[in-house]
A = this chain, B = another copy of it.
């Protein structure tokens, strides 16, 4: 292992942490929110837009990129960074979540998982080794090991068995790629569903395997908010302090702050980008549904506290018009705003932690959520 020193813990405020992770394509300052760029673009945005919203790292989906354009093509093109002209860090997931959520047929063995492409029905087999080989071709800065994301409601026996398989796959992944100086980083994933004893065992076994970072997977799969929070607060402290902690697929703004409060460093979620395309926008005063008639003649900017291109240049009335008229520009302006909101949230958390002021920030968002629910 040569990853020691790649992550530097800069400051803590309670359990909340600020850190810095050195990757092949630069430093990531944590807490960080990572926009999702499934198949070689963060939907509707170009690299300049991503820089403008302050993205320090983006995510790519191994499953999608493997199927199209194909990891060998990407390798031939000099990797995903060069292909999409994004010069910052990229994290790729393992494809496990997509295999289990998008693919028709799937057959899991201890060797790996067979699945049918959602594009053309062709059959494929992912092994832990193959998934790393694909990510080596993609050239991502952070590779995730293959895991099984257990569906919500799975029983304890199934979840335990699956968790052991995920651990075994992590071991095989590390053996397959032992790392190299200044090379791609590898993160493994804690599973165990919503059984805290399984989470504890998963964390204990996964963290025995030397990795550059550790993730909490298997949340945001349909569980209650209470279950999610319990799992996050239980699992985060089980991970080593000197490695970055990544909470996969989470979440709403308050969920992210709760994660940070539990000691998580990195987050990704499709919420800001997907909701942008549905006209649901996040603001400093809560969610806005830009479709609503009340915005038809509203000359105000979407969020007066926001510094994004959309808020600096356009009115709510214009954003509503673009959405109602089905204009493509609507997708981009909304995406720019929502991503800026999420990235800025993580940046505000970072500043607050640095000044030992994280608790008031969290309290503010907890109160806002209570007000919106009430």
Contacts and interface: CB of A to CB of B under 8 A. Distances in A.
Interface in A6-55: 39-41, 43-48
A41 B327 contact: yes
Interface residues of A, number: 36
A44 B332 contact: yes
Contact of A46 (B68, B84, B296, B329): B329
Nearest to A42: B329
The number of times this chain is found in the oligomer is: 2
A69 interface: yes
A204 B68 CA distance: 60
A85 B313 contact: yes
Contacts of A234: none
Nearest to A69: B321
A296 B73 contact: yes
Given A69-B296, A73-B297, A299-B77, A83 B41 contact: no
A328 B313 CA distance: 22
A364 interface: no
B296 A43 contact: no
Given A69-B317, A318-B84, A333-B46, A39 B325 contact: yes
A68 to B, nearest CB: 6
Contacts of A309: 46, 48
A321 B43 contact: no
A321 B318 CA distance: 31
Contacts of A314: 84-85
Interface string A329-353: 1011100000000000000000000
B47 A313 contact: yes
Interface of A: 39-41, 43-48, 68-69, 73, 76-77, 83-85, 296-297, 299, 309, 313-315, 317-318, 321-322, 324-325, 327-329, 331-333
